């Protein structure tokens, strides 16, 4: 939680709240009729309002191309909230919240639309006393970012009046490669300074992702072991049973590496491997994260051939139901080379992680959905119980991100009996078992943070660019004439054999989810 | 909140010396379908008749959100016959993931006659090791209090609202706290009642421009229901402590007088009306009124500001509910050291 120097605190907040307070503002959502707004943003804002977390002055303006009245827009949103909110929608609460919502039809390229937006903002700011604070949310396709940002700047909507702020939240994908990310950063930075730019990665809003730092730095038992002396290797898996779900247009151009590894998985890697920050300020944490991405060993074309496996699913079955191959999905090219699975062997070249391989895998149409990080510790010395064989398992600490968030630790125990048999047992902590209260959705936390000026859980420019620099080298090797093979795996399996071999040649195996 | 709750309300009678063994059997019977969960030891002490049944019902609901080893004690120190009885039971509910039954265990004790004094000895030997120990003491404290208790307790929960003599009771509590080297956190459910109202009042002043108003409060109106004057005084104490007001002599039943750092007078009027514990709190700062209303029976607060009699903002916010389960759930969720509570008490102690 940050508090700028000289900032006067509200004494009545003492002891009531342990996080920063969201400030009154107008949230302007570009792409207001889209899926993200309906499924995530408005339900998140409603839940925050129902929990009494939003400032009463808050206003929401939705902007999209389709013509509709404020009432039509509100009715659509009410239906969406009823469908997607984590809590039951109450009419009196919705009606109170909906008063703050309005709609403006506008083409994103239309300069007049931004003039009208400016007038509307002024009117709302006077009526609702938002203090002139503005939060622009770009819930649109990435190709729309530049015109929106440029028009916001041209209409001076990016410049807050004195004592107020103007911030922008940008959804992923943030660029498609390093060059486009830099260009996008340039365009963003012409409209908004870095400290007002919030690049969202909803994985960081998840309770378990935030808990990684607590687990590591609030427990004295783990950190002394968290290094090359005691850790054998780390695995990060993001598996989903789903296929494209109507996202072919985007996914065909992206693939698993850009869609998941560049952002979500590298963010998780940073949290699990970063050094302790000096304090909990956003930049202190992000400074440490960016050091990790910078220390990731860049892969040469030869290394890509040996340390990266890409694959695409073929016909198969999920939970007993037949599913078609990726190339047979709607709007996918029949000769598509897009990878739906990728497995990587990474190295972080720093003191702590020298010689500790990090294995990552991400894929669609895998047998089971789940995202987790597993830290595999080195085996106990072979002098006592495993003197005659090395059959003893490693201690494994598993951080489950989703679903069924929790932490488990595998350890060795003697099987009761007169013989001396040792088996692995699991100590298992489930959030849902210990804490009855449901966690807020990731977007709730992230929206609150953006309103209160806390950028800790958002990606910084250098993090994003460093991540693309790493990813681009792999993509580049894949475009070469001698590019490594694109494997196939039947839907409903754990990827191609080559992914297993990636670990097998190091004497290791993927953890069974 | 979970989908279903199953409660073995009556419990199974057990011998005192065999409680742990019988609990183990209970879990073995449940097999893999039941998962025992426990984050705290939660002991409830009451001397009210039939409290065992009432508190078992309360614990069944609390444990849906706060997995605990519950120890429910019904004591009758005035009974002529010495008696100790114990029961074990489990409160189970289906987890959010919907796959497993998550269960909290309850050990219940009835202590009668002189054996009621054996409370620490009999009861606290059944704490789940390494978990924090919360003691919810229902009713008034005894004078003197058993010093042995405080070596165990992490958080002492009580409700000062029905206390006849706040000062005397608070002195007992604070003595006990001193004996425990200030380790025990004091949790007053009468303070918990104010959480949502305090949040609603606090949020008015988050904006820098609104913050200025805190220096110009002239008048505060608090409406409370019968029996909740102490809740209203505590609310006034919170404002006084946080805003640096000093109590001025001459308070009566309905008017409290304070002066701020600049020596300006602030008048707090208390009005009694049937309804919620605190049904209204208005802060008047010049021509602006910051108002929180809690309509009778409503679970939402109506929160708004008026300038020169014209409504400027209006919002609905969650309201605290005044039943033991809600108050305890709120208290268990919040945690923290409650230093603000102690400051609020000190600001108005002589009026409570």
Location of structure tokens 């002394």? A224
**Is A8's pLDDT higher than 90?**
no
Nearest CB partner across the interface for A434, out of B67, B211, B239: B67
A274, A450 in Cβ contact below 8 A? Answer: no
CA pseudo-torsion sign A119, A124, A126, A131: negative
Determine the distance from the C-alpha atom of residue A467 to the mean position of all C-alpha atoms in its chain, rounded to a whole number: 14
- Give me the CATH topology for the region B193-351: Dihydrodipicolinate Reductase; domain 2 (3.30.360)
**Alpha-carbon torsion (A72, A75, A79, A84), positive or negative:** positive
Cα–Cα distance measured from residue A313 to residue A489, given in angstroms and rounded to the nearest whole number: 5
ipTM: 0.88
Is residue A336 pLDDT above 90, yes or no? yes
Residue B5 sits at the chain A interface (C-beta within 8 Å): no
Q: Look at B314 and A56 and tell me if their CB atoms are within 8 Å.
A: yes
Q: How far is A117 from chain B (nearest CA, A)?
A: 23
pTM: 0.85
CA distance B214 to chain A (A): 9
Residue B33 forms contact with A (CB below 8 Å) = no
How close is the nearest chain A Cα to the Cα of B19, in Å? Answer: 23
Contact B206 A128 (CB under 8 A): no
The yes-or-no verdict on residue A21 having pLDDT over 90 is no
Mutation site, B40, B188, B202, B244, interface A, largest A CB count within 10 A: B202
**Residues with Cβ < 8 Å from A191, sequence gap 6 or more?**
A149, A150, A152, A153, A158, A168
CB nearest B199 (choices: A50, A52, A96): A52
Indicate the angle between helix axes A178-191 and A461-479, nearest 10 degrees: 150
Q: What is the pLDDT of residues A415-451, one digit of tens each?
A: 787 777 777 888 888 877 777 667 788 899 999 999 9
**CATH topology (fold) of A11-171:** Rossmann fold (3.40.50)
Q: What is the largest CA-CA distance in chain B?
A: 70
Question: Quick count: other Cβ atoms within 10 Å of Cβ B69?
Answer: 23
The answer to whether the CB of A7 falls within 8 A of the CB of A115 is no
Residue A278 has which token pair?
């000096």
Cα atoms in the Cβ-side hemisphere of radius 13 Å centred on A439: 24
Q: Which residue of B has its CA nearest to A98?
A: B315
Task: Out of A151, A202, A233, A264, pick the active-site residue.
Answer: A264
> B251 to each of B77, B226, B351, how far by Cα in Å?
39, 19, 8
Whole-number pLDDT of residue B9: 55
Judged by average pLDDT, the poorest of A230-239, A262-271, B214-223, B252-261 is B252-261
Query: Do residues A73 and A34 touch, judged by C-beta distance below 8 A?
Result: no
Query: Residues of chain A with pLDDT > 70: what percent?
Result: 96
Query: Quick check: A3 pLDDT over 60?
Result: no
Using alpha carbons, list the distances in angstroms from residue A440 to A207, B173, B178: 8, 37, 39
Residues A385-419: pLDDT tens digits?
766 655 667 899 999 988 878 899 998 888 787 77
Q: Are A342 and A499 in contact (CB under 8 A)?
A: no
Rounded to a whole number, what is the distance in Å from the CA of A93 to chain B's nearest CA? 7
Q: Is the Cβ pair A92, B316 closer than 8 Å?
A: yes
Contacts of B197 in chain A (CB under 8 A): none
Quick: pLDDT tens for A476-496.
999 998 899 999 999 999 999
- Average pLDDT in chain B: 88
| HSE, side-chain direction, 13 A CA sphere, residue A123 | 10
- Compute the distance between CA of residue A288 and CA of residue B96 in angstroms, rounded to an integer: 35
- Residue A383: predicted pLDDT: 67
For residue B96, pLDDT beyond 80:
no
Give the model's pLDDT for residue A60. 96
Q: Which of A11, A131, A436 sits opposite B242 (nearest CB)?
A: A11
Torsion of Cα atoms, B308 then B310 then B313 then B316, to 10°: 120
Beta bridge partners of B265: B259
**pLDDT number for residue A386:** 63
Q: β-pairing, B246-248 with B255-259? A: antiparallel
Task: Find the mean pLDDT for residues B221-240.
Answer: 96
Whether residue A356 is predicted with pLDDT greater than 50 in this model: the reply is yes
CB contact under 8 A, B314 and A52: no
The three-point CA angle A468-A471-A475 to 5° equals 125
Interface check for B9 against chain A (CB to CB < 8 A): the answer is no
Chain A residues in contact with chain B using a Cβ-Cβ cutoff of 8 Å: 8, 10-18, 21, 23-24, 50-52, 55-57, 92-93, 96, 128-129, 131, 163, 403-404, 430, 432-438
**Residue A93 Rama label (left phi>0; alpha psi -120 to 50; beta):** alpha
Give the closest of B201, B315, B336 to A56, CB-based. B315
Range in A223-227, A281-285, B28-32 the model is least confident about:
B28-32
Does B298 contact chain A (CB < 8 Å)? no
pLDDT for B331 beyond 90: yes
Structure tokens belonging to residue A513:
């989810």
Cβ-contact B295, B28 below 8 angstroms: no
Whether B168 and chain A come into contact, CB under 8 Å, resolves to no
Quote the minimal CA–CA distance from B133 to chain A in Å: 16
CB neighbours of residue B291 within 10 Å: 21
Chain B residues closer than 8 Å to A16 by CB: 195, 198-199, 202, 340
Tell me the fold of A204-383+461-504.
Answer: Dihydrodipicolinate Reductase; domain 2 (3.30.360)
Task: Verify whether the Cβ–Cβ distance A55 to B300 is below 8 Å.
Answer: no
For residues B205 and B212, what is the distance between their CA atoms, to the nearest angstrom?
Answer: 8
Taking only the tens place, the pLDDT of each residue in B148-204 is 777 788 999 999 999 999 999 999 988 888 877 767 899 999 999 999 999 999 999
With contact defined as beta carbons under 8 Å apart, do A355 and A228 qualify?
Answer: yes
CA A428 to chain B, closest CA, distance in angstroms equals 11
Residue B340 is nearest to which of A14, A131, A434, comparing CB atoms?
Answer: A14
Evaluate whether B174 touches B144 at the Cβ level (below 8 Å).
no
pLDDT digits (tens, 9 = 90+) for A302-324: 999 999 999 999 999 988 889 99
Position B12 pLDDT exceeds 80: yes
In the structure encoding, which two tokens stand for residue A361, read together?
């895998």
A151 is catalytic: no
| Inter-CA distances, A104 with A192, B36, B96, Å | 23, 53, 39
Collect all residues of chain B within an 8 Å Cβ-Cβ radius of residue A93.
300, 316
Residue reference for tokens 């009694």: B272
Q: B213 to chain A: nearest residue by CA?
A: A10
Banded model confidence at residue A374, pLDDT cuts 50, 70, 90:
very high
Closest partner residue to B243 (CB to CB) among A11, A129, A434 is A11
A39-88, pLDDT tens digit by residue? 999 999 999 999 888 988 899 999 999 999 999 999 999 999 999 988 88
- Delimiting residues of CATH 3.40.50.720 domain(s) in chain A: 11-171
Interface check for B267 against chain A (CB to CB < 8 A): the answer is: no
Inter-chain touch A432–B96, beta carbons under 8 Å? yes
A5 pLDDT more than 60 = no
**Residue-level pLDDT at A2:** 39
In this prediction, residue A7 carries a pLDDT of: 58
Rounded-to-integer distance, Cα A140 and Cα A150, Å: 15
- DSSP-derived 3-state class of residue A167: strand
Residue B119 has pLDDT above 90, yes or no: no
Question: Which residue intervals of chain B bear CATH 3.30.360.10?
Answer: 193-351
The answer to whether the Cβ–Cβ distance between B316 and A93 falls below 8 Å is: yes
Q: Which residues of A touch B64 (CB under 8 A)?
A: 436
Q: Answer yes or no: do B316 and A8 touch at CB < 8 A.
A: no
CB contact under 8 A, B315 and A12: no
- What's the angle, vertex CA B118, arms to CA B115 and CA B120, rounded to 5? 155
Contacts of B100 in chain A (CB under 8 A): 433
Residues of A in contact with B300 (CB under 8 A): 92-93
The lowest-confidence range among A206-210, A285-289, B284-288 is A206-210
* Residues B321-350, mean pLDDT to the nearest whole number: 91
* Contact in structure between B160 and B193 (CB atoms under 8 Å): no
Give residues 53 to 92 of B whose Cβ lies within 8 Å of A. Answer: 64-67
B228 φ, ψ to 5°?
-115, 30
Helix (H) or strand (E) holding B228, with range, is none
Output the pLDDT for position A411.
Answer: 87
Per-residue pLDDT tens digits for A85-134: 888 888 999 999 999 999 999 999 999 999 999 999 999 998 888 889 99
Mean pLDDT of B286-292: 94
pLDDT digits (tens, 9 = 90+) for A180-222: 999 999 999 999 999 999 999 888 888 888 889 999 999 999 9
Pairwise CB contact (< 8 Å): A8 & B195: no
């Amino acid at each position: 939680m940050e508090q700028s120097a000289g900032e006067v605190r509200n004494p009545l907040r003492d002891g009531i709240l342990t996080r920063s307070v969201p400030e009154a503002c107008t949230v302007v959502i570009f792409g207001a009729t889209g899926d993200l707004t309906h499924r995530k943003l408005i339900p998140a804002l409603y839940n925050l309002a129902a929990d009494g977390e939003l400032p009463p002055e808050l206003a929401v303006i939705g902007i999209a191309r389709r013509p509709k009245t404020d009432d039509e827009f509100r009715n659509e949103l009410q239906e969406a909230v009823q469908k997607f909110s984590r809590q039951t929608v109450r009419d009196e609460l919705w009606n109170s919240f909906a008063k703050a919502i309005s709609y403006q039809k506008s083409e994103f390229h239309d300069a007049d639309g931004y003039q009208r937006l400016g007038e509307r903002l002024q009117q709302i700011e006077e009526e609702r006393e938002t203090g002139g604070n503005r939060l622009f949310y770009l819930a649109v396709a990435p190709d729309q970012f530049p015109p929106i940002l440029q028009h916001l700047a041209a209409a001076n909507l990016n410049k807050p009046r004195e004592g107020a702020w103007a911030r922008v939240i940008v959804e992923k994908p943030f660029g498609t490669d390093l060059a486009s990310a830099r260009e996008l950063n340039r365009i963003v930075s012409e409209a908004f300074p870095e400290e007002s730019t919030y690049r969202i990665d909803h994985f960081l809003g998840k309770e378990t992702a935030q808990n990684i730092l607590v687990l590591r730095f609030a427990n004295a038992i783990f950190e002394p072991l968290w290094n090359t002396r005691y850790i054998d290797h780390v695995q990060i898996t993001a598996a989903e049973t789903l296929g494209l779900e109507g996202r072919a247009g985007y996914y065909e151009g992206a693939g698993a590496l850009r869609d998941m590894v560049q952002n979500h998985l590298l963010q998780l890697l940073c949290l699990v491997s970063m050094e302790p920050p000096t304090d909990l300020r956003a930049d202190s944490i992000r400074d440490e994260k960016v050091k990790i991405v910078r220390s990731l060993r860049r892969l040469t074309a030869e290394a890509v051939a040996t340390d990266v496996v890409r694959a695409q699913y073929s016909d198969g079955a999920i939970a007993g139901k037949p599913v078609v191959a990726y190339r047979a999905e709607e709007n996918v090219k029949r000769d598509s080379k897009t990878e739906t699975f990728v497995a990587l062997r990474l190295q972080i070249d720093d003191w702590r992680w020298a010689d500790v391989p990090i294995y990552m895998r991400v894929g669609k149409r895998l047998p089971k959905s789940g995202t987790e990080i597993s830290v595999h510790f080195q085996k106990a010395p072979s002098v006592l119980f495993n003197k005659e064989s090395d059959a003893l398992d490693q201690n494994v600490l598993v951080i489950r991100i989703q679903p069924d968030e929790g932490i488990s630790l595998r350890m060795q125990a003697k099987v009761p009996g007169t013989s001396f048999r040792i088996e692995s047992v699991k100590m298992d902590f489930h959030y849902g078992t210990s804490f009855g209260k449901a966690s807020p959705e990731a977007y709730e936390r992230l929206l609150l943070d953006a309103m209160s000026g806390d950028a800790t859980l958002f990606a910084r420019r250098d993090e994003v660019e460093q991540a693309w620099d790493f990813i681009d080298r792999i993509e580049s090797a894949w475009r070469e004439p001698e590019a490594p093979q694109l494997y196939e795996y039947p839907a409903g399996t754990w990827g191609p054999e080559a992914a297993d071999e990636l670990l097998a040649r190091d004497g290791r195996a993927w953890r069974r989810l | 909140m979970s989908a279903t709750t199953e409660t073995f309300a009556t419990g199974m009678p057990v011998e005192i010396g065999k409680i742990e063994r019988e609990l183990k059997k209970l879990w073995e019977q449940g097999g893999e379908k039941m998962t025992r969960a426990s984050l705290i030891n939660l002991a409830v002490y009451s001397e009210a008749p039939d409290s065992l049944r009432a508190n078992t019902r309360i614990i069944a609901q609390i444990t849906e959100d706060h997995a605990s080893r519950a120890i429910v004690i019904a004591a009758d120190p005035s009974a002529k016959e010495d008696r100790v009885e114990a029961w074990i039971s489990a409160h189970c509910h289906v987890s959010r993931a919907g796959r497993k039954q998550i269960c909290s265990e309850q050990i219940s004790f009835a202590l009668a006659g002189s054996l009621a004094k054996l409370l620490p000895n009999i009861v606290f030997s059944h704490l789940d090791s390494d978990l924090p120990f919360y003691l919810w003491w229902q009713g008034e404290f005894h004078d003197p209090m058993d010093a042995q208790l405080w070596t165990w307790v992490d958080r002492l929960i009580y409700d000062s609202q029905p206390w006849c003599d706040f000062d005397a009771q608070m002195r007992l509590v604070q003595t006990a706290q001193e004996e425990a080297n200030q380790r025990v956190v004091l949790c007053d459910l009468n303070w918990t009642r104010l959480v949502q109202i305090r949040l609603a009042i606090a949020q008015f002043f988050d904006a820098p421009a609104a913050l200025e108003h805190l220096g110009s409060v002239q008048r505060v109106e608090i409406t409370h229901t019968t029996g909740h004057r102490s809740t209203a005084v505590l609310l006034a104490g919170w404002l006084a402590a946080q805003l640096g007001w000093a109590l001025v002599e001459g308070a009566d039943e309905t008017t409290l007088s304070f002066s701020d750092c600049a020596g300006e007078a602030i008048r707090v009027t208390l009005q009694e009306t049937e309804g919620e514990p605190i049904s209204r709190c208005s802060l008047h700062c010049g021509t602006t009124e910051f108002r929180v209303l809690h309509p009778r029976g409503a679970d939402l607060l109506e929160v708004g500001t008026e300038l020169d009699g014209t409504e400027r903002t209006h919002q609905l916010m969650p309201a605290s509910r005044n039943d033991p389960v809600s108050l305890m759930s709120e208290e268990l969720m919040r945690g923290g050291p409650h230093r603000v509570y102690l400051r609020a008490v000190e600001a108005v102690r002589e009026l409570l």
